[in-house]
Amino acid sequence: MFLLRVIVFFILVSLVLILGYPLIIVYDLANGGDGFGLCQDIITCSIPISEGPRLLVFLISAFFLLVLLLRLIMKYMNNLQKNNSIL
């Protein structure tokens, strides 16, 4: 049961990181960074037009996959608690 709670915690942290990842990239670019490998030099940066939608589809699919996994784990935990109940 404790392991399931730890897994749920890591899934929730992963969901927050997925939602905040685009903001972290923009913040890094605004401070003169390379956007975590997105642009080597901000002045001569040439990003393909498909890079944004590809990243969006990847993040959305990862988000919904983690939500599905979280839902399945929570149903399993509820089922375990019902079976362990004395009522």
What pLDDT, on the 0 to 100 scale, is given for residue 12? 93
* pLDDT of res. 26: 82
pLDDT in single tens digits along all 87 residues of the chain: 789 889 999 999 999 999 888 888 888 878 877 777 677 776 777 777 887 788 889 989 999 999 999 999 999 989 888 877 665
Q: Which residue has the tokens 């903001």?
A: 23
pLDDT of residue 67: 95
What confidence score (pLDDT) does residue 87 get? 59
pLDDT for position 64: 95
User: What pLDDT score does 13 carry?
Assistant: 94
Residues 25 and 38: their CA atoms lie apart, in Å, by 8
